[in-house]
Amino acid sequence: MNEQEKRNIARKILEALYDTWERHTNISLNTVQEQGGWDRSLFRTVVDKLDKQLGLIKSAGSSYSFEMTPSGVIYAEENGIVPKDKVEWHEKIRQHILAFLAELHDREGSRADVHYEKIAEGALIKNKMEMLRDLSLLSDLGKIEAVSTTSYRITDIGLRNYRGADEDII
């Protein structure tokens, strides 16, 4: 099997899944395989590696559907798999979330939480729902935590990461 062909398949898979991550959906990878015209066995080998060995994607249920893991989102962004403007946009949203919650923490204490609509005020988004994917990602990464289905607060990890002090105190 040609290693370059495997890399091309992996990139197309990650591109497609990042797009579905942004839109809060999932996709059958059968569609990606058919559009690329790749051998089914080779394609499934790449999917298996992305899923079980690397943990960048995970099954979303039936119909050979998959979704990005938090590691997959970060990997796709850091390795130029998705357009730079998309990466910069999501980074700005995440930075806004962390800044807002860090300020709330400083003002009201470590247990302070706020509804996501309040966090969305002043963010560079068209509607408040656009922020939900990045809130979920930051939560999965342990930088913020959901205290209800709609309210969040920053964690110690998120606070240290935001302030640029990523090392432990002790």
What tens-digit pLDDT sequence spans the chain (170 residues)? 589 999 999 999 999 999 999 988 888 999 999 999 999 999 999 999 999 999 999 999 888 999 999 999 999 999 999 999 999 999 999 999 999 999 999 999 999 999 999 999 888 788 777 889 999 999 999 999 999 999 999 999 999 999 986 555 54
Phi then psi for 89, rounded to 5 degrees? Answer: -65, -45
Tell me: domain 84-163, CATH 3.30.950.10, correct? no
Nearest Cα neighbor of 44 from 56, 33, 55, 28 is 33
Tell me: domain 3-78, CATH 3.60.20.10, correct? no
Which pLDDT belongs to residue 170? 46
Which pLDDT belongs to residue 68? 95
Q: What are the domain boundaries of the chain?
A: 3-78, 84-163
Alpha-carbon distance 23 to 17, whole Å? 10
Which pLDDT belongs to residue 168? 52
Domain 3-78 and domain 84-163 have a common topology: yes
Which pLDDT belongs to residue 62? 81
Alpha-carbon distance 102 to 98, whole Å? 6
Strand segments (E) across the chain: 27-28, 57-59, 65-68, 114-115, 144-146, 151-154
State the pTM of this model: 0.89
By the 8 A CB rule, do 89 and 124 touch? yes
Exposure on the CB side of residue 159, measured as CA atoms within 13 A: 16
Count helices and strands (H / E) in the chain: 8, 6
